[in-house]
Amino acid sequence: MKFFIDTANLAQIKEAHDLGILDGVTTNPSLMAKEGIKGHDAIMQHYIDICNIVDGPVSAEVLGTDFAGILEEGKKLAALHENIVVKVPMIKDGVKAIKWFTDNGIRTNCTLVFSAGQAILAAKAGASFVSPFIGRIDDSNWDGVQLIEQIVSIYNSQGFMTEVLAASIRTPMHIVRCAEAGADVCTCPLSSILGLLKHPLTDLGLEQFLKDANSLH
Ligand code: G3P
């Protein structure tokens, strides 16, 4: 399973990259706004800055919702850097645009996916990635990881090449369960990635080893 970081924060992207386990980055308009990035030029430059840190897919989301607007924005984003993947919402014009981008050699990430039916449409249109939002499904009292299992099973039995990118990850346990479910990619906040490190027995064991190591001198 590939690890992407779900943030537009350059320091966090660098920290995950320096850990040596980072395969890519996902962003969205909310994450860009959180970093205070404003205006077309600043947004474009920020994507280039991210691409210069991470040598892997970097999802940049279109802001338009009509076919022509999505195409215009997506083409500009894709031209910024070879790492850019155009992130497109799961709406009717979005599906049409994904098909157009696929036919024209531009990689896409279909976002805001909450059902297996939507995931089938994204794959039929040729999306490179599909992003089911599992944390938000959990918030609405369903099991987000079950959706990952269902999509993985459908894609495998139908031979779809779209990669299942588990998004809206909230906890380290989400990452473990998505790996079990066969997700191709997990995009996570830095806190969830670092949470994977933690176990109290590791801390206790290390404390004891260090104490005993001192007695060896
Ligand atoms: O990748 C999608 C993600 O950014 C949404 O996460 O926590 O806002 O549901 P969240």
* Per-residue buried b or exposed e for 130-164, using 16+ beta carbons within 10 Å of the residue's own CB: bbbbbbebbeeeeebbebbbebbebbeeeebebbb
CA of 172 to the centre of ligand 1 (A): 15
Query: What is the pairing mode between strands 24-26 and 58-61?
Result: parallel
Question: Measured in angstroms, how far is the CA atom of residue 210 from the centroid of ligand 1?
Answer: 40
CA-proximal residue: ligand 1, atom 6 (nearest): 168
Query: The tokens of 142 are what?
Result: 């369903």
The band of 217, judged by pLDDT with boundaries at 50, 70 and 90, is confident
Catalytic residue set:
87
Q: Whole-angstrom Cα distance, residue 150 to residue 216?
A: 54
Q: Determine which helix (DSSP H) or strand (DSSP E) holds 109, and give its type and residue range.
A: strand 108-113
What is this structure's pTM? 0.96
Pocket of ligand 1 (CB under 6 A): 6, 26, 28, 31, 131, 133, 135-136, 167-168, 187
pLDDT digits (tens, 9 = 90+) for 31-66: 999 999 999 999 999 999 999 999 999 999 999 999
pLDDT tens, residue by residue, 82-105? 999 999 999 999 999 999 999 999
DSSP 3-state of 106: coil
